[in-house]
Homo-oligomer: A and B are copies of this chain.
Amino acid sequence: MDVAAYMAELGQQARAASREIARSSTAIRNQALLATAEALDEARTALADANRKDLENGRENGLDSAMLDRLELTPERIDTMIEGLRQVAALPDPIGVITDMTYRPSGIQVGKMRVPLGVIGIIYESRPNVTVEAASLCLKSGNATILRGGSEAIHSNQAIAGCLRQGLAEAGLPETAVQVVKTTDRAAVGELITMPDYVDVIVPRGGKGLIERISRDARVPVIKHLDGVCHVYIDSHADPEKALNIAVNAKTHRYGTCNTMETLLVDQEIAEDMLPLLAEQFRAKGVELRGCERTVKVLKGITEATEEDWHAEYLAPVLAVRVVDGLDAAIAHINHYSSQHTDSIVTENYTRARRFLTEVDSSSVMINASTRFADGFEYGLGAEIGISTDKIHARGPVGLEGLTSQKYVVFGDGHVRA
């Protein structure tokens, strides 16, 4: 197979389809989403068969149990995909919204209209349900999509792709509006990220290694987040109860998510009082603490943190703890070590809260709230395709609006420039 030619063909088809999708009505796009949900519901047996093939191959190829778990399409996961499609159909359509309409002294009226980006390339690993999640958000926001899932999920993804094609066809939209790459040849990824004529943006979802490789080699913009090294800073003016609740929730609500706290900073003024209370709670939850020199003096017996710990995204019941000399030191630590994902201050002090909000340069900055709130659903975006730690285009949780752009619209009445 000539992978370059195949990918170029997908690209051309996607570009052509993107124009049709862009001018389709909200109702038609919603119809396609709902028809896909129906198609998935009717294809449960076929989906299970395809998934079984992937699981068998996976076991033969020695995939570990975590990967096999992510790969599995249980009936409940199919339910979730179907429900997800219905939820996306119910979201407000961002496309065509005109804002900031003003009259200019020249007499022209100028505003901004929200429009699709065009063609979005999605690159992801084992979980086949991403195929539906990502495709539905792109379709709702008027974009065409080329999806490149993991080779271990190829049969499941192709079965899902069939349902998406059926849904598009039933709504009278081009089936090429959502294309799932058929080859497992790795060269397909290299092609997908270097076709600026056919692909407007790449959204990679997966491990840090995958995302770093894609960012390095891509010739089109990439919406990504690399890691989530999130902080909570307990200020000397913090309400102790709020501090305890937030620290425990930010770390222990879920260990494997990118918005989980990985480093806790404590103001030295209150360290002697707060650290034992915190340690007691974390011990009860089975969280291992790694402390700075000053922390270790208060919490005898815990491991001393190394430089590596301040950079670590544990995604596990491990927490780095550092005592800092007040707000300036906390902000300096965060702006140096944070992955610019989510950082929170606990304080009752108005001025310190304001300074933290202004000076911490992260995609979500919080006051007296758990970092676990950094999420498209919690923020009211309805759904998210990922969380961006970039500053360009989309920052923080990326929902439908992050998959759109705005063009200027100008209304005149024969106006010419003087």
Contact = CB atoms under 8 A, between A and B. Distances in A.
Interface of A: 19, 22-23, 96, 102, 104, 106, 108, 110, 113, 115, 117-118, 200-201, 216, 219, 221, 239, 241-242, 245-246, 248-250, 253, 335, 344, 346, 357-359, 361-370, 372-374, 378-380, 390-393, 395-397, 405-417
A408 B393 contact: no
A246 B108 CA distance: 13
Interface residues of A, dominant DSSP: mixed
Given A365-B407, A365-B409, A369-B415, 16 more contacts: A22-B361, A118-B391, A200-B391, A216-B219, A242-B414, A249-B416, A253-B417, A363-B407, A365-B408, A367-B410, A368-B415, A369-B411, A372-B417, A373-B412, A392-B392, A395-B407
Contacts of A361: 19, 22, 115, 118, 407
A244 B404 CA distance: 35
B364 A407 contact: yes
Given A359-B23, A361-B19, A393-B393, A409 B366 contact: yes
Contacts of A221: 221, 390, 392-393
Contacts of A335: 19
Number of copies of this chain that the complex holds: 2
A414 B239 contact: yes
B409 A359 contact: no
B407 A358 contact: no
